[in-house]
Structure 1
Amino acid sequence: MYVPPAFREDDLAALHGTMQEVRLANLVTATAEGLIATPLPLFLAADEGPYGTLYGHLARGNPQWKLPPAGEAMALFMGPDAYVSPSWYSSKKEHHKVVPTWNYIAVHAYGAAEFFEDADRLLEVVTRLTNRHEQARAEPWAVTDAPEAFIRAQLKGIVGLRLPIARLEGKRKMSQNRSLEDRVGVAAALAASEQASDRTVAALIPV
């Protein structure tokens, strides 16, 4: 990922925060048959290894786990993003030397992907993923709400993923390279947007 110095994010807590907020990541591997990408909900075990370890699962019928990856796998996490119109820049009125851009947060996690089929490990991964996404609900569903035999049968249709993170790349592009006046204009325009994602980005722009 190309990361100019102004947008580089190296703080591990901030990188982990983005990864934990993203609900759906993408697992990418290079194989002898070409690149393969699978959208996956993942959870981060932040205290497992120097950069943490990612866990998830794939459908057993997905060929990605069967094809040995050539080198590292990569998990992509896309945070909040928004289109930025040059019309919002104060500097547009001065010289018109402005162009559109995009503000966004992205984290790329690299490591050797490990796939496993052990039922007990799979049950732990499924349980942790379920709890993560159900916990905010008024009446959260739990894996134990379903019959044990049914869950065990379902586990036979998936394969677990463990990805110990060897390195992380982070990019936080929130108009830091613009003047304060330009940033104020972008933040105000996005804050007035009808799209919730735009308003989220507005709050992240340093003004």
Structure 2
Amino acid sequence: MYIPKANEEKRIPVIHALIQAHPLASLVTMNASGLFASHIPMVLEADGSEFGVLRGHISRANTQWRDLTPDVDALAIFAGPQHYISASWYPGKHEHGKEVPTWNYAVVHAYGLLKVIQDADWLLKHLNSLTDIHEAASPIPWKVSDAPEAYIRTLLNGIVGLELPIRRLEGKWKVSQNRNERDREAVIDGLDSLDTPESLAMKALVEKI
């Protein structure tokens, strides 16, 4: 990924926080017929390494797991907050007109050799972890054990596990770092005026510069 120095994010806790807040990954692998992508939630877990490990699962009917090239890194892309930035927000638009729109975003790329796992106990543990994380905010969290055991075992036969030990991690935060303070304040005001969840999420990132 092309990352200008001003947009590079190297702090591992910050990168990990984006993965955990936006866990739906675009998982890209090299297969026999070329590039292949699936969109799956992944769980980031500590494994004693510098970057951690990503775990997920896909349908057994999805050919990605069968056809992947095992000695070529897979890429998991996690897209965070993003928003259009209007040129009309910049003071320069009214002073000299030499402004153009742009798009702000935060994104993480995680690379590593993908492992396919077909162990029922591993899959069950993974599904419990995935469910517990995303049910945590519910007043009455659903648990895998709420469903009949035989039913869950049948469903486990229809999926395969994926494990990606991260060996390279890239973070790109394109959040108006290249603008002066006056322009950044204008972007913050413009995003605030829209008052949408997406605009406010981007406003918060710009404010942290």
2:5 matched to 1:5?
yes
Over aligned residues, Cα RMSD in angstroms? 1.2
The Cα shift of 1:95 comes to 2.2
What residue number does 1:151 align with?
Answer: 152
Deviation for aligned residue 1:47 = 4.1
Q: TM-score, normalised by structure 1?
A: 0.97
SS at match of 1:98: coil
Length, aligned pairs only:
207
Amino acid at match of 1:172: W
What is the TM-score normalised by the length of structure 2?
Answer: 0.96
State the 1:23 CA deviation: 3.3
Q: CA deviation at 1:165?
A: 0.1
**2-structure distance, mates of 1:160, 1:7:** 34
Residue 114 of structure 2 corresponds to residue 138 of structure 1:
no
AA aligned to 1:132 is I
Q: CA deviation at 1:68?
A: 2.8
Unaligned ranges ≥5, structure 2: none
Q: Which amino acid aligns with 2:167?
A: A
- CA distance in structure 1 between the aligned counterparts of 2:127 and 2:148, rounded to whole angstroms: 15
Q: Deviations over 1:147-195 (max 9, x none)?
A: 1111111100000010000000110011010011111111111112142
Give the percent of matched residue pairs that are identical in Structure 1 and Structure 2.
Answer: 47
In structure 2, distance between residues paired with 1:52 and 1:73: 15
Q: Which runs of 4+ in 1 moved over 3 A?
A: none
Cα deviation, 1:94-119, whole Å, max 9, x if unaligned, reads: 32211110010000000000011100
* 1:52 correspondence with 2:52: yes
The 8 Å contact of residues 44 and 54 in structure 1, kept in 2 or not, is answered as yes
Residues 1:162 and 2:173 are matched in the alignment? no
Q: What letter matches 2:171 in structure 1?
A: G
Find the residue that maps to 1:91 and give its secondary structure.
helix
Q: Is this contact kept in 2: 1:16–1:46, CA < 8 A?
A: no
| C-alpha contact (below 8 Å) 1:191/1:203 kept by paired residues | no
**Alignment correspondent of 2:110:** 109
